Amino acid sequence: MPKPYPIPAQETRCETRVSNSRFIATVAPAFSVEQARAFIERIRAEYPDASHHVPAFLIGFGASIIAHSSDAGEPSGTAGKPILAVLRGSGLGDVVMVITRYFGGTKLGTGGLVRAYSEAARAVLTALPRAVKRATHTVLIVTPYSFFERVRMLVSVHKGVIVEEVFAVDVTLTARFPVENFETFQHALAEASAGALSVAVIKTNPDTILPFDETFSLSE
């Protein structure tokens, strides 16, 4: 199973200005080249009167990655490559960015363009919330009230997240675990309850998108 890696949690936009030129950077998750290209076309359609729409994307992560950038009419090497370099340095995968430029009347020169596009890319990534794509099991656990707090503790210890709690004659918990943590939770629950409690998998999702504050160390 591939290790999880950080991706954009949601589409994010940030605007910077350099010598009256506007640089509108928009970044989003993209899980295929087709999704990335559709995003790029959507941004172009949103700002049809802009001077340039400079795209860059990384699909995948690590060794198995598809990278693309274009200068979109700016001088060669001054726009797409700097954005792509910022994306590569961000540690993100499955990410697409378009920086839309409205020319402000003052030429920035090649060095000025490289700095402006790089700074616009870094600014939007600073504002971008991160997420992680991970295979998970959603499970159901029925426990008596006397064991409820112990079950909650075990869920937390084994990197699970409680999604729902229903209180009736017993307590029914719905929880979500990364697939690789689920078996150890099962064993811990059986041992702690002397085999009295069990857990049922009700759903498996290979591509669950989880924000960092809800999820787990990427090094695990």
Final residue of a structural domain among 128, 155, 181:
128
- pLDDT confidence bin for 132, thresholds 50/70/90: confident
Answer with the residue of higher pLDDT: 149 or 3: 149
Q: What is the mean pLDDT of residues 144-164?
A: 94
Query: Do 194 and 137 share a structural domain?
Result: yes
pLDDT of residue 220: 44
Query: Do 12 and 115 share a structural domain?
Result: yes
Query: Do 114 and 32 share a structural domain?
Result: yes
What rounded mean pLDDT belongs to the chain? 92
Long-range contacts of 203-206 (CB under 8 A, 24+ apart): 203/137, 203/138, 204/135, 204/136, 204/137, 204/138, 204/179, 205/135, 205/136, 205/138, 206/135
pLDDT of residue 28: 97
Query: Do 156 and 121 share a structural domain?
Result: no
Query: Do 114 and 58 share a structural domain?
Result: yes
Residue owning tokens 């363009």: 113
Q: How many domains does the chain have?
A: 2
Final residue of a structural domain among 112, 128, 144:
128
pLDDT in tens, 24-57: 999 999 999 999 999 999 999 999 999 999 999 9
**72, part of any domain:** yes
What CATH number has the domain bearing residue 157? 3.30.70.240
Final residue of a structural domain among 85, 107, 128:
128
pLDDT of residue 215: 45
Query: Do 111 and 39 share a structural domain?
Result: yes
| Orientation angle between helical segments 148-157 and 179-192, nearest 10 degrees | 150
Rounded to a whole number, what is the largest CA-CA distance in the chain?
75
Answer with the residue of higher pLDDT: 9 or 208: 9
Calpha distance 30→61 (Å, rounded) = 12
Query: Do 114 and 151 share a structural domain?
Result: no
Q: What is the mean pLDDT of residues 79-105?
A: 95
Range of the domain at 11: 6-128
Query: Do 200 and 164 share a structural domain?
Result: yes
**177, part of any domain:** yes
With 70 as the cut, is the pLDDT of residue 219 above it?
no
